[in-house]
């Protein structure tokens, strides 16, 4: 277990459970859906985990790359897809840690879950008003490989919670939870209580505001895609900065341009870096 502190902010990490952020608190107020690290039994219960080496779903757990089909592990119960990469279900090592920061690392060798070798580091820094996160992934395989990065934070959805962000488009979702088509969309500015959404937005301007009577949270990233998921009755909302759209490798294999999807193809030894921050203040 690792605990970070800065001013009134406190963050607990559980490296063995997917390198997860178990919780983030401002004083006694949970910012993320938070569980003390010692009580955490799965990254699925955590406040945040990293998405490496891809975000969201790869349809029917089958990766087609450079003419070769790679069956992947269906890693989420009965769901037929591969989801959220491999890092969230593997132990991470602690390379360094002090009161306000920690660097975690995960080294992947080809297996049934992902056929390409890579190394990934996750650096977390806690400031007095923000948690800053940096992911860096290096392709360690002998060939070019598809890569994506992102984060899956769950924010507390209190009474009166409101989300606001701007985007350029939204990928519509089929009944199979895979994207069907992109439509222009300006983003959201709405109360969270009745919100039902499970979509990837692109053309995101890099800022999300989450407000309620207790906190004002800003999520910032240079990434330009955002997955948002919640439904009425759920006490949390997922707001996920990501580098590519859902099921990007299949859309790419079907002829879509990698740049339009945000899919990065890393040469051997090449590195992809992503950053995000969670800024927290009391409501005014």
Q: 42: pLDDT confidence band, cut at 50, 70 and 90?
A: very high
Q: What is the mean pLDDT of the chain?
A: 97
Which pLDDT score, from 0 to 100, does residue 38 have? 95
Which pLDDT score, from 0 to 100, does residue 63 have? 96
Domains of the chain as residue ranges with CATH: 2-158+231-282 (2.70.98.10)
**Which distant-in-sequence residues (6+ apart) come within 8 Å of 187 by Cβ?**
164, 165, 166, 167, 201, 204
Q: Which residue has the tokens 């959805």?
A: 157
Written as six digits, the tokens of 138 are 């290096």
C-alpha 155/C-alpha 234 separation (Å) is 11
> pTM above the 0.95 mark?
yes
Angle at 248 between CA 247 and CA 250, to 5 degrees: 75
Which pLDDT score, from 0 to 100, does residue 186 have? 98
Q: Which of 141, 154, 147, 133 is nearest to 239 (CA)?
A: 154
Q: 284: pLDDT confidence band, cut at 50, 70 and 90?
A: confident
- Judge whether residue 170 has pLDDT over 90: yes
Cα Rg, the chain, nearest whole Å: 18
- Judge whether residue 31 has pLDDT over 90: yes
- pLDDT tens, residue by residue, 221-279: 999 999 999 999 999 999 999 999 999 999 999 999 999 999 999 999 999 999 999 99
């Amino acid at each position: 277990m690792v605990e970070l502190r800065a001013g009134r902010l406190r963050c607990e990490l559980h490296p063995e459970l997917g390198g997860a952020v178990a919780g983030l608190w401002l004083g006694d107020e949970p910012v993320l859906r938070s569980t003390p690290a010692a009580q955490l039994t799965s990254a699925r219960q955590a406040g945040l985990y990293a998405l490496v080496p891809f975000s969201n779903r790869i349809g029917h757990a089958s990766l087609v790359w450079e003419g070769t089909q790679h069956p992947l592990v269906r890693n989420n119960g009965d769901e037929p897809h591969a989801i959220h990469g491999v890092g969230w279900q593997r132990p991470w090592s602690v390379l360094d840690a002090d009161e306000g920061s920690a660097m975690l690392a995960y080294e992947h060798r080809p297996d049934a879950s992902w056929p390409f070798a890579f190394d990934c580091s996750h650096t977390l820094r806690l400031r007095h008003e923000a948690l800053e996160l940096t992911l860096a992934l290096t392709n360690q395989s002998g060939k070019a490989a598809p890569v994506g990065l992102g984060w899956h934070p769950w924010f507390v959805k209190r009474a009166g919670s409101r989300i606001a962000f701007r985007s350029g488009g939204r990928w519509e979702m089929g009944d199979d939870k895979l994207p069907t088509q992109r439509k222009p969309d300006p983003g959201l500015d709405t109360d969270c209580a009745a919100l039902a959404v499970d979509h990837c937005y692109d053309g995101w301007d890099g800022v999300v505001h989450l407000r309620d009577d207790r906190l004002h949270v800003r999520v910032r990233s240079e990434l330009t895609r955002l997955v948002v998921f919640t439904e009425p009755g759920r006490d949390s909302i997922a707001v996920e900065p990501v580098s590519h759209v859902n099921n990007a490798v299949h859309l790419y294999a079907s002829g879509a341009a990698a740049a339009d999807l945000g899919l990065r193809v890393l040469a051997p030894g090449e590195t992809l870096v992503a950053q995000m921050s969670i800024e927290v203040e009391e409501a005014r």
